[in-house]
Structure 1
Amino acid sequence: MTITQLKYVLAVAEYQNFTVASEHCFVTQPTLSMQIQKLEEELETQIFNRKKKPIQLTEVGEKIIEQAKIIVDESNRINDIVDQQKGFIGGDFRLGIIPTIMPTLLPLFLKVFIKKYPKVNLKIEELTTEEIVKKLVDGHIDVAIAATPLENEAIKERVLYYEPFVGFVPKEHRLFKNDTLDVENLEIDDILLLEDGHCFKESILNLCSTFGNKNQHFQLHSGSFDTLIKLSKEGLGMTLLPYLQTLDVNTNDQVYLKEFKEPVPAREVSIIYHKSQLKIHLIETLKSVIDSVIRGVIAFNDVKIISPIQKRKGA
């Protein structure tokens, strides 16, 4: 039994196809099939039911896969230990960031990070929170930045900063005359929201439901804050923005920005990774860089964290 054979088995279990698995393992399909067959002969058991389409694991195969993941992870950990001992900061590092954070946070730290750690091959993906959690669990990304808490036992969360919500209120709106906003005066019917799939939308729904607003009928959903701002200026309603997004609002439109009374509703933004993650030294360097740049941008203390997790009725 070899680590390579176990990696091939894991690939077939994931893609449920020998040809696709071989492509991801960068070997020919006959080579991959032969190695898996050797492993099955050694174990005197069938890992896969090849008669099923797509290929499925046998009952014992499911147990073998669980153990194979542990063995492969532990073998990779040896390389991680050696890198840390040598003080080497480099190699592939896969990062996922949710769409409502990437455009504002990434420009703040990316240049600093790649200049400080030129040997790191940083691969960045824009992903929804649901996609991030799945890819972390499957091992397809190493770390992510998302709104938390996620209440997932498999995921470790380390807070980077707390980002307040800021209102964008057009002149025609009933709340424009107010110097500051009060969450109790929000009406969900006239708040323009991001489309489904964005956790910031769920945070807004949770914010409003927290203060007893039960009407959740929406007329407009959009995929970007820029669009929401333009629609708001057309008199179609107010919207809420994360604080970093307001730094890009042009000078003429800053008159529409309204801060909340304390405690300010805010989202918790964290660096997250799977509890068995190997590249802890790389995660530490990334967190350190972000901490250093964000400290001078956000400095709010009295905040009320709004969960990005969708609340169920009756909960």
Structure 2
Amino acid sequence: MTITQLKYVLSVAEYQNFTVAAEHSFVTQPTLSMQIQKLEDELDIQIFNRSKKPIELTEVGKKIVEQAKVVVDESNRILDIVHQQKGYIGGEFKLGIIPTIMPTLLPMFLHNFTKKYPKVKLIIEELTTEEIIRKLIDGHIDAAIAATPLENEAIKERPLYYEPFVGLIPQNHRLFNNKYITSDELEMEDILLLEDGHCFKDSVINLCRNHKIDNKKGFQLESGSFDTLIKLSKEGLGMTLLPYLHTLDINETDKRYLREFTNPPPAREVSLIYHKSQLKMQLIEALKKTIDGVIKGAIAFSDVKIVSPLQKTK
């Protein structure tokens, strides 16, 4: 039995197809199939039911896959120990970032990080919170930056900063003349929201007293872009809420539409998150240190009211 064989088993278990698993394992399909067959012969059991389409795990195969995950994780930990002992910060590091954070935060730290740690091959992927949780648990990414708390026991969260919400209110809106706004004044029916799948949308819904979305606008919007929401709002089609860092890029003319909340303002907690197995901790620490160094100059809010990124029902 080898670690390589176990990795092949995990790949087939995930993709439920020998050919696709081989492609993701960077080997030929006959090589992968042969190694899995050798493992099954050695154990004198069948891990996969090959007669099913897609391929399914047998009952004993399910138990083997669960144990294989532990063994492969522990084998990766050995390499981590060696790297930490040598003080080496390098290698491949896969990072997921949610769409409402990537455009503002990534440009702030990416250059500094790559310059300071040139031996790290940073692979960045834009993912929804749901995709991030799944990929962290499956081991397909090493860490992520997302809005928290996520209430997932398998994931550790380390807050990076607290980002207040800011209102963008068109001139024809009932709240335009207010110097500050409050959560009690928000009405779901006249707020432009991001499309489903964005946790910032869920945070906005949780912020409002009335969680029911009663569409009286005469149109239905499906957008993943704050820029689109800003343009529609300026056209008088409704107000919207933005994360604070996103407002820094708004031109001086359009800043007249911005309204801060009364203290303590509603905010999202943005954290660096990773699996509780704590693999590649030297890289995680390097990333957090880099982000801490650049974010403090841009955002210093601490007296805030954290709004959950998970949609709640009332």
TM-score between both structures, scaled by the size of structure 2 = 0.97
Aligned partners of 2:211, 2:108: CA distance in 1, in Å? 38
- CA shift, 1:187, in A, is 1.1
Residue 96 of structure 2 is matched in structure 1 by 96
Selected match of 1:216 from 213, 218, 221:
213
Aligned partners of 1:5, 1:149: CA distance in 2, in Å? 37
- CA shift, 1:3, in A, is 0.9
Aligned partners of 1:32, 1:194: CA distance in 2, in Å? 43
Residue 35 of structure 2 is matched in structure 1 by 35
- CA shift, 1:301, in A, is 2.3
Residue 252 of structure 1 is matched in structure 2 by 253
Between the aligned residues of both structures, percent identity stands at 75
Residue 190 of structure 2 is matched in structure 1 by 190
1:21-32 equivalence runs, <5 A: 21-32=21-32
Residue 149 of structure 1 is matched in structure 2 by 149
> Is 1:226 the counterpart of 2:223 in the alignment?
no
1:186-239 Cα distance to aligned partner (Å, 9 max, x none): 11111111111111000000000xxx3254223443221111111111111111
Residue 241 of structure 1 is matched in structure 2 by 242
Q: Where do 5+ consecutive residues of structure 1 fail to align?
A: none
| Secondary structure in 2 matching 1:259 | strand
1:123-138 equivalence runs, <5 A: 123-138=123-138
Residue 274 of structure 1 is matched in structure 2 by 275
1:131-174 Cα distance to aligned partner (Å, 9 max, x none): 11111111111100000001111111110000000011111111
1:16-42 Cα distance to aligned partner (Å, 9 max, x none): 111111122222222211111111111
Aligned partners of 1:53, 1:161: CA distance in 2, in Å? 47
Residue 261 of structure 1 is matched in structure 2 by 262
Residue 110 of structure 2 is matched in structure 1 by 110
Is contact 2:162–2:301 with CA below 8 Å preserved after alignment? yes
Residue 300 of structure 1 is matched in structure 2 by 301
Is contact 2:8–2:25 with CA below 8 Å preserved after alignment? yes
> Is 1:3 the counterpart of 2:39 in the alignment?
no
Aligned partners of 1:188, 1:31: CA distance in 2, in Å? 56
Q: Where do 5+ consecutive residues of structure 2 fail to align?
A: none
| Secondary structure in 2 matching 1:240 | strand
Aligned partners of 1:33, 1:235: CA distance in 2, in Å? 60
Aligned partners of 2:226, 2:31: CA distance in 1, in Å? 50
> Is 1:78 the counterpart of 2:75 in the alignment?
no
Aligned partners of 2:59, 2:10: CA distance in 1, in Å? 15
Q: Which amino acid aligns with 1:117?
A: Y
Residue 169 of structure 2 is matched in structure 1 by 169
TM-score between both structures, scaled by the size of structure 1 = 0.96
| Secondary structure in 2 matching 1:194 | coil
Residue 290 of structure 2 is matched in structure 1 by 289
> Is 1:14 the counterpart of 2:14 in the alignment?
yes
Q: Which amino acid aligns with 2:20?
A: V
Aligned partners of 1:133, 1:13: CA distance in 2, in Å? 18
Aligned partners of 1:196, 1:123: CA distance in 2, in Å? 26
- CA shift, 1:312, in A, is 2.5
